[in-house]
Amino acid sequence: MLQQASFIFCSTGNKALTFDDLQNIGVNIDRLIIASYTSADDELNIYEGLKQYKYVSDSTYPVNFSWYTIKRRAGSDFQLILLCDRNATNFNCRAILGESIRSVQAAMMICALNLYRSNRKNKSNSDILTLTNEEEIMIARLWLQHFGRMK
């Protein structure tokens, strides 16, 4: 997957992406953008490796992003951009989630239920489980029905 990714959105909270992963990014990728949903220190295990590279920040809006030029193991360079300067993108500019978090929680509950159901059927599925389009639409409609009236 990392051989083709140009945008990675991390939301695991378990240091899922390492600096070694970055050095093995696909040779056809010139620029990799990473966004973190929780604290980037929880999501990414890359900062020790990044110390050897020059850090550049957008001086106009320093909390928006930072970038590095990283050398791949294969020898060529690529540009790494960390959104929100290594902080959680959902809390950029001191934002709060409010009731929008309810749709995320609903998606998590449906995914957990789907995982439980697939395990009960003894399915050995090593793929990444995602919501169906119908499930996403259902969550959005229910959220709008309930929270759309609360103004």
Q: Which of 47, 71, 93 is the last residue of a domain?
A: 93
Q: How confident is the model at residue 92 (pLDDT cuts 50, 70, 90)?
A: low
The closest of 93, 9, 69 to 44, measured between CA atoms, is: 9
Q: Does 110 lie in the same domain as 86? A: no
Q: Does 118 lie in the same domain as 48? A: no
Q: Does 142 lie in the same domain as 84? A: no
Q: Does 107 lie in the same domain as 69? A: no
Is the pLDDT reported for residue 58 higher than 90?
no
Q: Does 126 lie in the same domain as 81? A: no
Q: To 10 degrees, the CA torsion angle through 28, 30, 35, 41? A: 100
Between CA 58 and CA 33 the distance in angstroms is 15
Percentage of the chain modeled with pLDDT above 90: 7
Is the pLDDT reported for residue 105 higher than 80?
yes
Is the pLDDT reported for residue 101 higher than 80?
no
Between CA 56 and CA 54 the distance in angstroms is 6
Q: Does 72 lie in the same domain as 108? A: no
Q: Which of 69, 93, 117 is the last residue of a domain?
A: 93
Inter-residue long-range contacts of 63-72, CB under 8 Å, 24+ positions, other chains counted: 63/87, 63/92, 63/93, 64/92, 70/22, 70/23, 70/25, 71/23, 72/23, 72/24, 72/25, 72/27
The DSSP output letter for 96 is: -
Length, in residues, of the chain: 151
Q: Which of 93, 110, 139 is the last residue of a domain?
A: 93
Poorest-confidence range of 58-62, 104-108, 120-124, 125-129? Answer: 58-62
- Within 8 A by CB and 6+ apart from 73, the residues are 23, 24
Range of the domain at 58: 7-93
The model carries a pTM of: 0.58
